[in-house]
Amino acid sequence: MKMHNKVIVVTGGGNGIGRELALHLLSKGARVAAVDIDESALAELVGLAGGRKEHLSTHVLNITDKEAVEAFPEQVIARHGAVDGLINNAGVIQPFVRINDLDYATIERVMNINFYGTVYMTKAFLPHLLQRPEAHVANVSSMGGFLPVPGQGVYGASKAAVKLMTEALYAELIDSNVRVTVIFPGAIGTNIVVNSGVADSLDVNMEDAQEGPMKPLPPARAAEIIVNGMERDRYEIFVGRDSTFMNFIYRVSPRRATRFISKQMQSLLTK
């Protein structure tokens, strides 16, 4: 589905990949409804939109509030006249600790935002998308959604749930007007650690972590890859060389891939 003149909802639109998705979609002639819980981040997005801000609406919304989400599509339609696409991008990671040391409140928060937020948004918008001549749902999973990452076990479980739910949605909608895509970002240069409130759990220099043979992909480039993949109606989109490489290794030998990523994560799990 080409994005020109389409109305696309983007969750997590105030920061990181979501912000860049909103800006890239605007640059392609789309109208964008950007959703975030952070009002100040959405205000910054409006400033960055420049002359295209007339095609942008911003909405402060807690995607874990089922009743608020169910009422939200009518707000988008009232502002833009229709809705043609949904990108469920919003998500948080967990503290870098083992499952044995992870408290239940954090587990529930991660699952509520990453999985249930995606489910609520999908169910709220799907009836409207099915009425359009063509439409698209794209859900952001993670490299951690197909590869077990020590210290991110529940985060990975939430993203694996997004992966399988999205794949099932694809199967259910094969004969419909709605295309479905699942997205697997690798390391992206965003502020997700800070925005997730888990920076204190890291005993490493995050600036140093940005260096190395597999540097995080700039979020603007990630957004470009995602939108280009959606326009080609891709079933899966792997964002970054690390995601592409680890998907290959995991398919060849799940145990070897798990041992490899376990070794890479040891420095974050020394406590």
> Would you call 116 a catalytic residue per the annotation?
no
DSSP assignment of the chain equals ---TT-EEEEETTTSHHHHHHHHHHHHTT-EEEEEES-HHHHHHHHHHHGGGGGGEEEEE--TT-HHHHHHHHHHHHHHHS---EEEE-------S--GGG--HHHHHHHHIIIIIHHHHHHHHHHHHHTTSSSEEEEEE--GGGTS--TT-HHHHHHHHHHHHHHHHHHHHTTTSSEEEEEEEE-SB-SSHHHHTT-GGG--S-HHHHT-STTPPBPHHHHHHHHHHHHHTT-SEEEESHHHHHHHHHHHH-HHHHHHHHHHHHGGGS--
Which of 120, 155, 170, 250 is labelled catalytic?
Answer: 155
Q: Which residues are catalytic?
A: 155
